[in-house]
Amino acid sequence: MQSANSDNILAVLDGFALDNADDIARQIAENFRKRRVEKNITRQRISDLSGVPLSTVARFEQKGLIALDALIKLAMALGYAQDVRSLFGASKFNTMEELDMIRRKSGDKRAYVKNKKK
């Protein structure tokens, strides 16, 4: 019984693990592989549909390594272009100060450091 409780606690804690770039890349690759398999598309077929070399598809699924243009082509071939297109589409904030800054900067075209008075 204790093992089941430990497994449940670990499953919950897994969702709170700190992200790093490698973990995110591997998760994206795993999600891609799952969606590809669900649609019964082989690696060779997705390579043909997307124009992405088969070796690149394999490296992506195995290691999470891929160039952005190749990722976009794969997403388009699977019907996920809009998901990629909307990446960074919505403002996100962690504090009220960030929300205030987002509101103030919403029309700006660039970021800059304000000059500090001496």
In order, the DSSP letters of 67-83 are -HHHHHHHHHHHT-HHH
Residue 6 lies in a domain: yes
Residue 95 lies in a domain: no
Mean pLDDT over the full length of the chain: 86
- At residue 10, the 3 state secondary structure works out as helix
> Residue 15: pLDDT above 60?
no
Domain boundaries, position 32: 2-89
**16 against 50, higher pLDDT:** 50
**pLDDT confidence band for 90 (50 / 70 / 90):** confident
- Tokens for 71? 């990722």
What is the number of structural domains in the chain? Answer: 1
Q: Angle, to 10 degrees, between the axis of helix 54-63 and the axis of helix 68-78?
A: 100
The structure's pTM equals 0.71
Q: What is the CATH number of the domain that holds 66?
A: 1.10.260.40
